[in-house]
Amino acid sequence: MPELPEVETVRRGLAPAMEGQVIAAAEVRREGLRWPFPERLAERLTGRRVEMLGRRSKYILAGLDGGETMILHLGMSGRMTISGEAPGSFRHERATPEKHDHVVLDMENGARIALNDARRFGALDLWPTALIETHKLLAGLGPEPLGNSFDAAYLAERLKGRALPLKAALMDQKIVAGLGNIYVCEALHRAQLSPLMPSGALADPEPLVAAIREVLTEAIAAGGSSISDHRQATGELGYFQHTFRVYGREGAPCPRCGTPVERIAQSGRSTFLCPTCQSGLTPRH
């Protein structure tokens, strides 16, 4: 499932073609994805101007004039494609909708935006902009890890006294929004912290907060990680996967100490770590 860097990469790719632009025509080609689409979706999108294109956690938010926001989640395999003439490098003919293009937006500037989702685990909804934080997908989310509200003091308070393993705590979207398996594994390795340690035992969260910010920033700059389905809006792959330190590298040498990377199971998910660098509660020096 796309994590924060992949979704932010898609948002940035869509922005030149969508932000400030009017949806000249919307075509809805099925009744829904993971859940049914809202009623009269094509009618409610056609003629609307996209006033802003934002992101909250793993969701793209398209604020429309008229007081509604389109909420988009890419699910396991969803992607957004751009064709036609639009600002930037998009200078090719509008693509004919493909089999799994479920919502197609023709923008007044000539761009065609398609939501393609072969496995149909994604979601699209419309919600009053003024009440956006009450939507079931957004209500209760923790702060953005790249925002000012996420800092060492906040994390220390949220983890205080908790026995939950540190990795599981970081993947709890109510504690911090947008993190998933890949970037938690990578951040914990950089901070030299065990994913198995009780989260409440973290004495100084500052190195971990710094590592999370560093990993996410680098991943966004690299266009995210393309392991299976992720594509940028231009169709290009992300390439942060080429710089993974531990994720998916079982048996390979740790780039810090040379110890073979191990894979363990946590809550049904694979966790990758260096058993030497990440053996304790505090960073090794």
Burial class (CB in 10 A: 0-12, 13-18, 19+), 62: buried
Is 2 annotated as catalytic? yes
Q: What pLDDT, on a 0 to 100 scale, did the predictor assign at position 206?
A: 97
- 228 with 234: CB under 8 angstroms? no
The rounded distance, in Å, linking the Cα atoms of 175 and 185 is: 17
Q: What is the fold, at CATH topology level, of the domain defined by 4-134?
A: N-terminal domain of MutM-like DNA repair proteins (3.20.190)
Angle ∠(1,202,179) on CA atoms, nearest 5: 15
Q: What is the fold, at CATH topology level, of the domain defined by 152-273?
A: Helicase, Ruva Protein; domain 3 (1.10.8)
Q: What pLDDT, on a 0 to 100 scale, did the predictor assign at position 130?
A: 97
Catalytic residue among 2, 5, 16, 145: 2
Domain definitions of the chain by residue range: 4-134, 152-273
Is 3 annotated as catalytic? yes
Catalytic residue among 48, 55, 56, 58: 58
17-54 burial, b at 16+ Cβ within 10 Å, e below that, comes to: bbbebebeebbbeeebbeeebbeebbebbbebebeebe
Q: What pLDDT, on a 0 to 100 scale, did the predictor assign at position 285?
A: 45
Q: What pLDDT, on a 0 to 100 scale, did the predictor assign at position 89?
A: 47
- For residue 49, is it left (φ>0), alpha (ψ between -120 and 50) or beta? beta
What string of H, E and C letters represents the secondary structure of the chain?
Answer: CCCHHHHHHHHHHHHHHHCCCEEEEEEECCCECCCECCCCHHHHHCCCEEEEEEEECCEEEEEECCCEEEEEECCCCCEEEEEEECCCCCEECCCCCCCCEEEEEEECCCEEEEEECCCCCCEEEEEEHHHHHHCCCCCCCCCCCCCCCCCHHHHHHHHCCCCCEHHHHHCCCCCCCCCCHHHHHHHHHHCCCCCCCEHHHCCCCHHHHHHHHHHHHHHHHCCCCCCCCCCCCCCCCCCHHHHCCCCCCCCCECCCCCCECEEEEECCEEEEECCCCCCCCCCCC
Catalytic residue among 3, 6, 8, 68: 3
Is 51 annotated as catalytic? no
Catalytic residue among 94, 269, 275, 283: 269
* Each residue's pLDDT expressed in tens, for the chain with a length of 285 residues: 688 999 999 999 999 999 999 999 999 999 999 999 999 999 999 999 999 999 999 999 999 999 999 999 998 778 888 988 655 544 456 566 677 889 999 999 999 999 988 888 899 999 999 999 999 999 999 999 999 999 999 999 999 999 999 999 999 999 999 999 999 999 999 999 999 999 999 999 999 999 999 999 999 988 877 545 544 455 554 557 788 999 999 999 999 999 999 999 998 889 999 999 998 665 554
- Which residue is it, tokens 């993974």? 244
Q: What pLDDT, on a 0 to 100 scale, did the predictor assign at position 83?
A: 86
